[in-house]
Amino acid sequence: MSNITFPPSGDRGLKIIIIGGGFGGLKLARSLNNKAGFEIYLLDKYNYHQFQPLFYQVATAGLDASNISFPLRKVFHKSNNVHFRMAEVKEIISIENKVITDIGDFVYDVLVLATGADTNFFGNQQLIDNAFPMKSTVEAVQLRHRLIHNFEDALSAKTEEELLRLLTIVVVGGGPTGVEMSGAIADMRRFVLPKDYPELDFSKMKIYLLEGSPKTLGAMSERSSNDSHKYLEKLNVIVQTNTIVKDYDGQTVTLQSGNTIESSLVIWAAGIKGNVPAGINKELIVRGNRIKVDRMNKVLDFENIFAIGDVAYMETEKYPHGHPQVASVAIQQGKFLAYNLRRMEMKSHHVEEFEYYDKGTMATVGRNLAVVDIPIPIPIGAKLHVKGFLAWMMWMGLHLVLLLGVKNRFAVFSNWIYNYITYDQNLRLIFKEFYRPKKNEV
């Protein structure tokens, strides 16, 4: 490891280190971009921002990975105070105001943890070894390779048992990711796969969606949950609620009930946990591996360390068990923290407390099928429910707006139009040099 210490000497303002270039960290950096009094270093182990809501479309060959990724350096081409470094954080030494990384040490006046969340396998090593997560662009591409490779392998299956195992896909987790993934694979089965593999009988293909709670899309309204369940059944997805996966050895899914499902592909979307860097006091970490913060997003017991987004746990009157781990929370917290940091830099005693404004939630289930919940002020707690084609159009419109870069928006929109008109996707590619078989593959 280098002995160089960053930032270099010289007073160019309050030195802020932001760890993580996701929705929260990027929003914070952009909000302070070219603002006097701040010198910012944005650290991330990848050199690009990843648009997580569309990972499932990369995994199902609907979009190319480059369509949902945007170079972080390009975001700050015209910046005079934001510097990006591709670095992996090893440890935080708060007593020295220092961040240890694989490229050197960074000192700070203010540290912001925007490290997001990773897949939670709940400590099950079998699941870690054999199930496929989808929390990064790289993982989405690997999942796409495995998904398509299974159909190639099915053509040379030697037994009916092996064939059925290769044609059975299990998605674990009935939240938005699991629902969207299941619906996308069901659309592939309807429109694409029979043309690609005419030798296979896709009436034998099974798609399971397993959810531990009583309903899918549990965080959304009852109507959205019910509609998503109906849509999935309409697409012939086998939905099993109140079902907990106990184990998976690469061939057999074992449920807590004792029942089993034979499958060569399990997609794990059942839980997430915060990415907490080494050096954070374990007493500050709560359920879900999240760091306790106050209403200003300041980590408890610290004056100059903040946490935003999925890794932050803030209790409020509206959210006594913490905010939902969604992009909109991270974006609002990034913008809010930028405001407070500017007030602090001006030596103002007036700082705001964070209050999350829920603009609504949505999920798509398949072609022309989606659900949207939009909060309305009266009566208090009520939500406007939209479903079907209109909800699907709303879902696409919002995601296009949130994407970074005109080129990416155009590429995604063009792909969607092409897919809609032709009922086809043109990215069903297996790049051998990037494909990493699981340990039990031949």
73-107 pLDDT tens trace: 999 999 999 999 999 999 999 999 999 999 999 99
For residue 376, what pLDDT is reported?
A: 84
Does residue 206 fall inside a structural domain? yes
For residue 4, what pLDDT is reported?
A: 38
For residue 7, what pLDDT is reported?
A: 46
195 and 318 in a single domain? The answer is no
For CA atoms 129, 132, 134, 137, the dihedral sign is: positive
Q: Mean pLDDT, to the nearest integer, of 34-51?
A: 94
Residue ending a domain, choose from 247, 270, 293? 270
Residue ending a domain, choose from 252, 270, 288? 270
Pick the closest to residue 139 from 119, 160, 115, 112 (CA basis): 119
Does residue 382 fall inside a structural domain? no
Pick the closest to residue 369 from 386, 357, 352, 345 (CA basis): 386
Return the percentage of the chain with pLDDT > 70, whole number.
93
Pick the closest to residue 265 from 104, 79, 438 (CA basis): 438
Does residue 408 fall inside a structural domain? no
Please provide the average confidence, as pLDDT, over all residues in the chain.
91
Is pLDDT of 440 > 60?
no
Cβ(20)–Cβ(116) below 8 Å: yes
159 and 20 in a single domain? The answer is no
- 25 CB-near residues (< 8 Å, 6+ apart): 18, 19, 42, 44, 112, 114, 308, 309, 334
138 and 57 in a single domain? The answer is no
Cβ(184)–Cβ(60) below 8 Å: yes
Helix (H) or strand (E) holding 339: helix 327-345
Is pLDDT of 311 > 60?
yes
Domain of residue 147 covers 123-270
| pLDDT bucket at 442, cuts 50 / 70 / 90 | very low
**How many independent structural domains does the chain possess?**
2
Q: Mean pLDDT, to the nearest integer, of 5-26?
A: 78
Q: What is the C-alpha to C-alpha distance for residues 55 and 433, in angstroms, rounded to an integer?
A: 21
137 and 170 in a single domain? The answer is yes
Does residue 224 fall inside a structural domain? yes
Does residue 72 fall inside a structural domain? yes
For residue 345, what pLDDT is reported?
A: 79
Residue ending a domain, choose from 270, 294, 313? 270
For residue 290, what pLDDT is reported?
A: 96
Q: What is the C-alpha to C-alpha distance for residues 436 and 145, in angstroms, rounded to an integer?
A: 9
3-state secondary structure 392-430: HHHHHHHHHHHCCCHHHHHHHHHHHHHHHHHCCCCCCCC
191 and 112 in a single domain? The answer is no
Q: Mean pLDDT, to the nearest integer, of 374-399?
A: 87
Q: Mean pLDDT, to the nearest integer, of 1-12?
A: 44
Q: Mean pLDDT, to the nearest integer, of 100-125?
A: 94
Cβ(22)–Cβ(45) below 8 Å: no
CATH code of the domain in which 179 resides: 3.50.50.100
CATH code of the domain in which 35 resides: 3.50.50.60
Least reliable range by pLDDT among 18-22, 239-243, 348-352: 348-352
| pLDDT bucket at 394, cuts 50 / 70 / 90 | very high
Does residue 399 fall inside a structural domain? no
127 and 89 in a single domain? The answer is no
